[in-house]
Amino acid sequence: MATQNEPDSGPDNHTTTTTITNNPTQVATPPIYHLSFNQNHSCFSVGLQNGFRVFDTDPFKPSFRRELDTHGGIGLVAMLYRCNLFCLVGGGPDPIYPRNKVMIWDDHVSRCIGELSFRSEVRNVKLRRDMIVVVLNQKIFVYNFLDLKLLLQIETDLNPNGLCEISQNSSPMVLVSLGLQKGQIRVENFGSKKSKFVMAHDSRVVCMSLTQDGGRLATASSKGTLIRVFNTLDGTLLQEVRRGADRADIYSLAFSSNAQFLAVSSDKGTVHIFSLKVDSGSMASLTNDRSHIASEPIHSRLSSLCVFKVVLPKYFSSEWSVAQFRLPEGLQYFVGFGQQKNTIVIIGMDGSFYRCEFDPVVGGEMIQLEYHNFLNADNF
């Protein structure tokens, strides 16, 4: 693969290629710099000091670890399902690579085979089989995976969390990013070559998730009380669900593979599962209001107490989660759906792994099926 630099004006950055080999040295409980699932939640990656690890989720087991002989931390590990190619970005107090570079690692040869250089810190990287998407603080670059040719450059609002989602099953690709103002999202359809801007929230968008086919988008704002689900085709609001009444930091959103459920994790320590009542055939007809032209806050169209909306606060007419799982408050957890029906997987920045089962009919508290500390030295 070729080496590419960000095509902005100004002096080019000097680019070097680093050769990496394996080192069997193991650290018992290293600090975690990065934690994320792959595209279908079948495994997850952990960025550490001097390397990264990958674990299977169902059943839980260590898949492999890579200890790099060059000292420094890995702050981002982007996976492509179970492919041998990864994108790595340096992180931690002593990053192994500059934070403004994306290193393309080929695990078959245990070395980096290409890189992308930018003039500011890389916030996120998203992969699909034909494209690499790199997210900076106010820009997104889309590259062809085969030859690293730049296909598209997108301007965004300030994006410190590196928010960006891309479809995996659809071709052409659907890409969702922040828009150009607070609370706005942008939907880029690579088939129609059209952009749509949607006013999703009054406050900043801090988390989002896209279905595999790119048809539905879930968003959460800095308030963390309401989660909104949109049709990406026309920007209409399909559903609004309530996590709680008090403010929360939303850490992750995840759709189930059939898009019937949505999982949410936050700093409040409870993982919520919401039932999504809208099927793909009725997405466009559920509401006639176009959220992208609305200037007022969006209100839920789906409510068990909608007849009382005029006299009751919106809180009482909200849709609530059907199942919950309690975790320690204040810790950062990420949630995905398991490979078995009605199961979820939770991974934490403290090294915790949970697999739980929920009952979509009865609801209530989930049943814990499995727990591990994935940083435990016995795992390797």
The whole-number pLDDT of residue 357 equals: 97
Say if residue 350 is exposed, middle or buried (CB neighbours under 10 Å; 0-12, 13-18, 19+): middle
**Residues for the chain: how many in total?**
380
20 neighbors 111 (Cβ within 8 angstroms):
yes
Contact 48, 73 (CB under 8 A): yes
H helix or E strand, kind and range, residue 47: strand 43-48
Q: Please, what is the Cα angle at 318 between 313 and 324, to 5 degrees?
A: 135
Three-point CA angle 49, 54, 55, nearest 5°: 130
- Helical spans, DSSP H, in 134-190: none
d(CA 212, CA 256): 9
In terms of C-beta distances under 8 Å and separation of at least 24 residues, what long-range contacts does 28-34 make, across chains too? 28/375, 28/377, 29/351, 29/375, 29/376, 29/377, 30/375, 31/92, 32/349, 32/351, 32/375, 33/73, 33/74, 33/75, 33/91, 33/92, 34/74, 34/75, 34/76, 34/77, 34/91
Whether cis (ω within 30° of 0) applies to the bond prior to 59 is yes
Euclidean distance between the first and the last CA atom of the chain, given in angstroms as a whole number: 32
CB atoms within 10 A of CB 75: 20
Cα atoms in the 13 Å half-sphere on the side-chain side of 83: 18
Per-residue b/e over 2-41, b at no fewer than 16 CB within 10 Å? eebebeeeeeeeeeeeeebeeeeeeeeebebbbbbbbbeb
pLDDT for res 317: 55
pLDDT at position 16: 32
Q: How far apart are CA 78 and CA 91, in angstroms?
A: 13
d(CA 214, CA 232): 7
Cβ-contact 262, 277 below 8 angstroms? no
The amino acid occupying position 191 is G
pLDDT digits (tens), the chain, 380 positions: 656 666 654 433 333 333 333 333 444 567 999 999 999 999 999 999 989 999 999 989 999 898 887 789 999 999 999 989 999 999 999 999 999 999 999 998 888 899 999 999 999 999 999 999 999 999 999 999 999 999 999 999 999 999 999 999 868 899 999 999 999 999 999 988 889 999 999 999 999 999 999 999 999 999 999 999 999 999 999 999 999 889 999 999 999 999 999 999 999 999 999 999 755 444 443 333 333 333 333 333 343 344 344 444 555 557 899 999 999 998 999 999 999 999 999 999 999 999 999 999 999 999 999 999 998 855 55
Distance of alpha carbon 359 from alpha carbon 16, whole angstroms: 52
CA separation for the pair 309, 299 (Å, rounded): 10
